Amino acid sequence: MTAPKKLFIKTYGCQMNVYDSERMAEALGGQGYVQTDHAEDADMILLNTCHIREKAAEKVYSELGRMKVLKDAKPDLKIGVAGCVAQAEGAEIMRRQPMVDLVVGPQSYHRLPAMDAAVQGGAKALDTDFPEDDKFKTLKTRSKAKRGPTAFLTVQEGCDKFCAFCVVPYTRGAEVSRPADRILREARELVDAGVRELTLLGQNVNAYHGHERGLAGLIWALTEIDGLERIRFTTSHPNDMDQALIDAHGTCEKLMPYLHLPVQSGSDRILKAMNRKHTAESYLRLIDRIRAARPDILLSGDFIVGFPGETDQDFEDTLQLVRDVHYGQAYSFKYSTRPGTPAAEKPQLPDDVMNERLQRLQALLRDQQQQTQASMIGREVKVLFEKAGREAGQMIGKSEYLHAVYADAPATVLGQVRRVRIVQDSANSLKGELIG
Ligand code: SAH
Ligand code: SF4
Ligand code: F3S
């Protein structure tokens, strides 16, 4: 028997790329590949890339530069680029870095086995189609290997919203929802392999329409699976938060009280220029309705500072919106010009203005995050324990609010949801005591 070939995958970008990397590894598993954590051992290296901001895309080329050393030492090594940079740049990647053997987009990676056969024969392989055949039909079942207690599950892909700054509609294509029955089957396979918490993924996950009652209908159907204890979903668009989904936050016990609901800006002028199709006021009223259904929900958001044309007043409006909402957690970014997007045509703001705004916004968001964390002290939460901590006897997991919590506990708690009282707040996590 020949030794199995080794596959090293490096994943950039969003959770959907994490999910896709798992599925690529499973697809190549059928070709005799096993995964390795060490690039130096690999027979194939795949970079699963992100195109969302300039920095993310440039990282790929510097990583490829480093990989070239490995390829020079081991000419049989195959190097592939997958994900959103692959989709956006296609053959250009091979022109810039000729040692790349394979380029595969996010909608065509079910064809990796055939592409592997081609590159093993010495050819180059490029596939950035948006094929008619659904990749999930080809990929079929999930690996039966035992897994940790949490997993991602893609239910919807692509985006039809076309925010003026964003590449996702071009790299991931039009919005497509997977049929509910297939998602339920995959969820059961994951639960059989040890998963207790699923995070449903979509670029606009709440636009999901593969169930007749939308995402809420899918969530309720998933609650029927024995052994599945927790459900989360991300990322949502404010305009797709329907009443059934808001209600589910109040009534569905398995749905966790955490919602990532990006708004990007608090200025109506900028929201309009961004093509977000909602106002700051409509977002705030939506938050009121969500909090009415689930008062303790932890809200998270995304913000862009320095969108073309953003004035001091527009930026102040963003700060005001953040004060009005009070986020438990958030991500904020400097606007990055993306080729092919409508906003790329407009004059850019000076970098020092963007830097100063980003610092002020991040300071405010950090304060809110710290306050939210500190407010957990003394409270009882439920933690799904995921792994052993750094210190002996310590186990780490996540509360229902997605806070990392560690506690002294026996290893038997791994994979279980246990009651914990929060006793201390440290920089990025909470310390708790097991009480049940
Ligand atoms: N589909 C999701 C997230 C898309 S990308 C949504 O609609 O919210 C994740 C985040 O990256 C976005 O919410 C946005 O805040 C940020 N982002 C996207 N394009 C960007 C750009 N050109 N420059 C800076 N940040 C950007
Ligand atoms: Fe990008 Fe907007 Fe679509 Fe989100 S909703 S993926 S920000 S175009
Ligand atoms: Fe990046 Fe593509 Fe996700 S651009 S954020 S990897 S959808």
Please write the tens of the pLDDT for every residue from 4-43. Answer: 999 999 999 999 999 999 999 999 998 899 999 999 999 9
Ligand number nearest CA of 165 is 1
Residues of the chain with CATH 3.40.50.12160: 5-127
| 14 carries a ligand binding annotation | yes
Note the pLDDT tens digit of each residue in 200-211. Answer: 999 999 999 999
Ligand 1 center to residue 435 CA distance, Å?
40
The fold for domain 135-375 equals pyruvate-formate lyase- activating enzyme (3.80.30)
pLDDT at 273 over 80: yes
**Cis omega before residue 235 (within 30°)?**
yes
Minimum-distance ligand 1 atom for the alpha carbon of 331: 15
- pLDDT category of residue 422 using cuts at 50, 70 and 90: very high
Ligand 2 center to residue 411 CA distance, Å?
41
Nearest to 183 by CA among 159, 205, 161: 205
pLDDT at 140: 73
Helix, strand, coil shares of the chain, percent, nearest 5, are 40, 25, 35
Give me the phi and psi of 239, to 5 degrees please.
-75, -10
pLDDT at 39: 95
**Contact between 119 and 78 (Cβ < 8 Å):** yes
Q: Tell me the average pLDDT of the chain.
A: 96
Residues of the chain with CATH 3.80.30.20: 135-375
- pLDDT category of residue 436 using cuts at 50, 70 and 90: confident
- pLDDT category of residue 185 using cuts at 50, 70 and 90: very high
| 252 carries a ligand binding annotation | no
Is the domain covering 380-434 a CATH 3.50.50.60 domain?
A: no
pLDDT at 428 over 90: no
Ligand 2 center to residue 387 CA distance, Å?
33
- Neighbouring CB atoms inside 10 A of 406's CB total 22
pLDDT at 304: 98
Note the pLDDT tens digit of each residue in 360-376. Answer: 999 999 999 999 999 99
CA 4 → CA 24, 28, 361, distances in Å?
A: 16, 11, 50
Q: What angle do CA 207, 244, 298 make, to 5 degrees?
A: 80
pLDDT at 53: 96
The fold for domain 5-127 equals Rossmann fold (3.40.50)
pLDDT at 3: 80
Ligand number nearest CA of 47 is 3
Q: Residue 56 half-sphere exposure, CB side, CA atoms within 13 Å?
A: 22
- CA 23 and chain centroid, separation: 15
Nearest to 406 by CA among 281, 425, 66: 425
Q: Can you state the angle between helices 112-120 and 15-29, rounded to 10 degrees?
A: 60
- % of the chain beyond a pLDDT of 70: 100
Q: What is the pTM of this model?
A: 0.96
State the sign of the Cα–Cα–Cα–Cα dihedral 355, 357, 363, 366.
negative
pLDDT at 133 over 80: no
Nearest to 164 by CA among 343, 20, 304, 321: 343
Residues of the chain with CATH 2.40.50.140: 380-434
pLDDT at 136: 87
Average pLDDT over residues 291-318: 98
pLDDT at 1: 55
Average pLDDT over residues 129-150: 85
What torsion do the CA atoms of 281, 161, 92, 41 make, to the nearest 10 degrees?
A: 80
